[in-house]
Amino acid sequence: MLFHPKILDSFAGYNRTLLTKDVLAGLTVGVVALPLAMAFAIASGLKPEAGIFTAIIAGGLISLLGGSRVQIGGPAGAFIVIVYGIVERYGVPNLLLATAMSGVLLFMMGVFRLGTLVRFIPIAVIIGFTNGIAFLIGLSQIKDFFGLSIEKMPAQFFPAVQTLYQAANTFNPIALGVAIGSLTFIIVWKLFQKRLGWLSHLPGTVVAMVSATIVASLLNLPVETIGSRFGGIPSSLPSFEWIPISWDSAQYMLMPALTLALLGAIESLLCARIADGLTHERHESNQELMAQGISNLTTPFFGGMPATGTIARTVTNIESGATTPISGIVHALTLLMIILFAAPLAKDIPLASLAAILMYVAWNMGEWKKFIDLKQFRLPYRITILSVFFLTVILDLTTAVEVGLLLAFITFIYRISSLSRCESADTKDFPTLNHLQGRVDAYRIYGAIFFGAVKLLEKIEENLPTQTLLLDLKNVIYIDTSGMDTIMELAHLCKIRNIKLIICGLDHQPLEMVQRSDFLKSLPADCFYPDLISGIKAATQS
């Protein structure tokens, strides 16, 4: 079926025990998602409630309509850099428009079954931009981590570094102490979590945030809080508002929307694959993309931000015992209850503590070990991963991915062309050819005859025999249009020079390509043989 959410297949054998596991997992993930949703929104240049509303609405829709049993959706760290840049350059209304447009693009990607194509993005490109985004997240949190007095942080790398440098003398030692204390608490909690008994179920990020809030409130510490910067969080349901849409704005937002859609597709399907590995089940990638599309089309009308699958919350969901999308729906309802009944308490949360949480998230988000192990990989892999990383940091994600894919494409062509080879058939294997030296030449071709390997046939053209040319294509696995044109040019050249061309061993895709190009009709019937030996017998008899 075209549209078939995974939740429809999740209730076979479902019972009270599994429901209890899903509810407990959903409650756990909901608590985990609270500080992350607020931190991601603030780091993106939005109000904290934008992140929470997104986690509620998008998280619920992704679980209800998605193609994975256990994936948790919501605002993600990967979007911070992109969203912040869009907000700074185009404003929040245009961010909402770009998010809705990305939702349409994601849904169409699912409808046209493009989910599997996302898997073709090379791992070097993914690691490069993931590490680049993680680095930029860490850079964006230096302001609140050190309590610097900066009215607005630039989105670009060099202006951001310059701004941080110029404001270095304004750092707040109290804010820095809160941030370091929160980060240390999270790390220590993670190290000793298994020894904490029933407390081990509590996420360290939440405990650190609550502890920092209590300490800052009791001691009346002079640090910036959610209340001092944003006025707190509304304790009400998000209201529906139409997005201002104009053709002029839509044209400018097409590329940002495409960036959000591609990043959302990559993140969500990577997350789903990780979940598959942990649960030993398979997600439906196209259904997941359609669910992501619907959620991103819906959330902007409630003031939300872009959403995708979130790896940390999904893994927490699985480790907490979740088995069906019910846990994701419970996670969304948990956040909704927090908003309705505990929102006033959030105004005292120190921003330095949220910055520490994001620093921790950024560190765990990046695959830094891959940089240490770069010397183990070939030069093209190193160039690709480092190029994508530095371009993500210095320029933007779109340029980085484009360049990364181009480098990967060039590397792939080079590798495949280097695997294709042409060998002369040894005359010792065919004694009947000894007396025909110079008049009959036989060649075996291996690999693929495509636009990157047509030089193999061009070399044969330079050394044509006087009587018969035999080509053994039994080991050719693929021929593209350029390769077919080169073969036809070789046949035409042989015809002009009155040289008999014999083709041997065509099978599968190469045979289909030859038939579609009408090449078979251009040569006599006695010029095609199933193998090289049959072709040589025919050549010696002619």
pLDDT digit string, tens, across residues 195-216: 877 777 777 888 899 999 999 9
Average pLDDT over residues 305-314: 91
d(CA 142, CA 149): 11
Average pLDDT over residues 214-230: 92
At 270, the pLDDT band (50, 70, 90 cuts) reads confident
> What six digits make up the tokens of 361?
């998230």
Q: Give the amino acid at 402.
A: E
Percent of the chain residues past pLDDT 90, beyond the cut: 44
Q: What is the pLDDT of residues 337-348, one digit of tens each?
A: 989 888 888 889
Residue 486 in any domain: the answer is yes
What is the structure's pLDDT at 380? 86
One domain for residues 37 and 181: yes
Residue 52 in any domain: the answer is yes
Residue 519 in any domain: the answer is yes
Contact indicator for 61, 291 with CB cutoff of 8 Å? yes
Rg (CA), the chain: 30
pLDDT at 413 over 90: no
One domain for residues 478 and 515: yes
What is the structure's pLDDT at 221? 92
> What six digits make up the tokens of 174?
């109290």
Residue 375 in any domain: the answer is no
Residue 188 in any domain: the answer is yes
Q: What is the pLDDT of residues 425-460, one digit of tens each?
A: 765 555 555 545 556 788 889 999 988 888 888 888
At 401, the pLDDT band (50, 70, 90 cuts) reads confident
What is the structure's pLDDT at 117? 79
At 288, the pLDDT band (50, 70, 90 cuts) reads very high
Average pLDDT over residues 160-185: 94
**Domain final residue, candidates 320, 335, 364:** 364
At 144, the pLDDT band (50, 70, 90 cuts) reads very high
Q: What is the pLDDT of residues 486-542, one digit of tens each?
A: 999 998 998 899 988 888 888 888 888 888 888 877 777 778 777 666 666 666 665
One domain for residues 450 and 493: yes
What is the structure's pLDDT at 431? 52
Tell me if the pTM is above 0.85. no
What is the structure's pLDDT at 370? 85
Q: Any idea what DSSP says for residue 199?
A: G
Query: By three-state DSSP, how is residue 500 classified?
Result: strand
What is the structure's pLDDT at 119? 73
Residue 51 in any domain: the answer is yes
> What six digits make up the tokens of 252?
């400018």
d(CA 451, CA 45): 47
One domain for residues 357 and 461: no
> For the chain, what is the mean pLDDT?
88
What is the structure's pLDDT at 170? 92
One domain for residues 471 and 498: yes
At 468, the pLDDT band (50, 70, 90 cuts) reads confident
Q: Which of 120-124, 243-247, 386-390, 467-471 has the highest mean pLDDT?
A: 386-390
Q: Residue 528 — φ and ψ, nearest 5°?
A: -125, 130
Percent of the chain residues past pLDDT 70, beyond the cut: 95
Average pLDDT over residues 240-267: 89
What is the structure's pLDDT at 417? 86
Q: Give the amino acid at 466.
A: T
One domain for residues 402 and 426: no
Q: Which of 280-284, 302-306, 375-379, 475-479 has the highest mean pLDDT?
A: 302-306
Lay out the sheet containing 500-504: strands in order across: 421-424, 440-449, 468-479, 500-504, 528-529
One domain for residues 322 and 179: yes
CATH number at 427 reads 3.30.750.24
What is the structure's pLDDT at 426? 62
One domain for residues 457 and 425: yes
One domain for residues 292 and 413: no
List the domain range (segments joined by +) for residue 207. 15-225+235-344+352-364
Structurally, the chain folds into a number of domains equal to 3
What is the structure's pLDDT at 22? 93
Residue 3 in any domain: the answer is no
Positive or negative, the CA dihedral 243, 248, 253, 255 is positive
pLDDT at 377 over 90: no
One domain for residues 402 and 445: no
pLDDT at 391 over 90: yes
What is the structure's pLDDT at 1? 57
Residue 506 in any domain: the answer is yes
Q: What is the pLDDT of residues 13-51, one digit of tens each?
A: 889 899 999 998 999 899 889 898 999 999 999 999 999
One domain for residues 390 and 434: no
One domain for residues 70 and 109: yes
What's the Cα-to-Cα distance from 387 to each of 56, 144, 392, 397, rounded to whole Å? 37, 29, 8, 11
Q: Is 373 exposed, middle or buried (0-12, 13-18, 19+ CB in 10 A)?
A: exposed
